[in-house]
Amino acid sequence: MKKLVIATRRSRLALWQAEHIGAALRRLHSGLTVELLPLSTRGDELVDRRLDKAGGKGLFVKELETAIAEGRADLAVHSMKDVPADLPQGFALAAITAREDPRDAFVCAKYPTLGQLPARSTVGTSSLRRQAQIGERYPALEVRLLRGNVETRLAKLDRGEYDAAVLAAAGLKRLGLERRIAAHLSPEEMLPAPGQGALGIECLAGRAEVAALVAPLADNTTTICVRAERAVSRALGGSCALPLGAYAQLAGDRLRLRALVASADGKRVIRTEIQADAADPQALGARAAEDLRRQGADEVLGR
């Protein structure tokens, strides 16, 4: 192949991510031309509603997948936390790249930590997972919906519409906005979303030549960890309507996986931690989901 077209969302972060992958592919393959195809997705347009009320994570990827299916693009670059647990038939994740910081970030100009916010302070987030974990630890805080791209969220915070916000640390770092982070939230304080901080490259399952071009970008450690995390989500329904966190860490040949599900208000939180051989990360994720169910996950999730 002499030319690759990457479908991407139009936000500055999505464009950065797509160009990051494009630049890596150009370095790997001399003479390869890489072009971006920026597209607007329903997830970007519906900024006044929670994703779980509007159709879920697929709202960020459907238009990109359509462009691939129609031959207008060869691949798409996604934030893995935005990718549904099950891809549409005929599509495949050709590579998952090395993970950036998987943690969430507390953004606030006046207070250094979430725990120091006064009672009834407003914290903006678009994530039920974050809402639940804030509600569990800091029930006196008011969590409010904050949607839009990174710059839009920060602008609303700067205008005083919120006292603080919680965003993915990886996105802030990729955009050169790390200075806005007042504190990084450890996994013990706020368990990340499955795949958070990692980028995924999606293409048609039958495009072996595309898969071969992007294969060198895959990171084995990140891939193993993200597969385990996504397996938890898949076993529990795979939707952003779930207040669900999952985070895996690889040490040698051992994989440590932590996962949780919660009620949206954080009044009920169920956790599990499992360690096993890293040879079958999907099986480990399924075991974690099974343990969450044994503890009452379906009841907590309103099933």
Q: Which residues are catalytic?
A: 82
Nearest C-alpha neighbor of 104 from the set 229, 239, 245: 245
> What is the spatial distance between Cα 283 and Cα 87, in angstroms, rounded to a whole number?
18
Q: Determine the 3-state secondary structure of 211 from DSSP.
A: helix
**Taking each helix axis from N to C terminus, what angle separates 150-158 and 12-28, rounded to the nearest 10 degrees?**
140
* Beta carbons of 124 and 85 less than 8 angstroms apart: no
> For 68, phi and psi rounded to 5 degrees?
-65, -45
Task: Determine the Cα–Cα distance for residues 161 and 171; give it in Å rounded to an integer.
Answer: 21
CA-based torsion, 281, 282, 285, 286: positive or negative: negative
